[in-house]
Amino acid sequence: MTRRRPSPPDPSLATARIPLHAPALQLFPVIHEDDELLVLHKPAGLVCHPTKGDAYSSLIGRVRLHLGTASEPQMVHRLDRETSGVMVFGKTPAAALELRQAWELGLVTKEYLALVHGAVSDSHGVCEAPLGKDEGSDIAVRDRVRPDGASARTRWWRQRVFERPEGTFTVVRLRLDTGRKHQIRIHLAHLGHPLVGDKLYGPDPDAYLGFVQRRLTAEQRTQLLLPCQALHAGHLWLPWRGEEREFTSKPEPWFTAFAHGETVPWIDDPFDPLRPGP
């Protein structure tokens, strides 16, 4: 497949047409829909898989509400709970099978934007640190760089360094050549530039447990700076019906506001599975 040219610098840091934080009662913004595909913008903070909450507390639950109770939508890839951006669903078993085959053959390209701590010095680079389970952590879902881990490759480009009262930050554009769990987050932390707002791989090892146990302190919120990790899946390319399709989604306004030096208010989790739907 022809290698795609890198996108121009800072391609998506314009205000998205959704509120500062997507309302919990809005199912999701639809990017494209036809008889076979549903392409949508997953809001930051919304978990993909079903939870103990109601149908509104997960993305797949909301997709079923959107398509109707008789539908059988299939999620062929996922994003972390706090990552926003483009996701594709197969509306039929046949479409889902074709989508999975495209992923397995490496024919799908995803591009992300990230806001990271510190000034990234190089203009671009590649991280190939292998990843595996962090057996020394009390958090079961946490992975780390380890010599015996699975191969992982992340390409990145520095977009812009900017200053805020809290310090220096960088906008980074990334593409994945492998799809390991938490790959971008771990690789960025390994390079010394963790994601802004990352509770699992940021500077405070207790922030993740504080969040899931609903006991984040004011000090932890101040250190995190953002209520969600600043990672956005803005572009997705895949071959479909004889042509390469491109789907795009702009970062959410809180992401753009932070990158432009504006104050982003902390809000309680609008997608908390313990919060009832409408």
Catalytic residues: 80
CB 152 within 8 A of CB 131: yes
Identify the burial level of 250 via C-beta atoms within 10 angstroms of its C-beta, where 0-12 means exposed, 13-18 middle and 19 or more buried. buried
Give the residue from 46, 88, 100 showing the smallest Cα distance to 235.
88
Residue type, 92: T
CB 108 within 8 A of CB 101: no
Round the CA-based radius of gyration of the chain to a whole number and report it: 18
- In order of 25, 51, 78, 82, the CA distances from 270 in angstroms are 9, 15, 20, 12
Give the residue from 228, 258, 243 showing the smallest Cα distance to 43.
228
Give the residue from 110, 104, 99 showing the smallest Cα distance to 73.
99
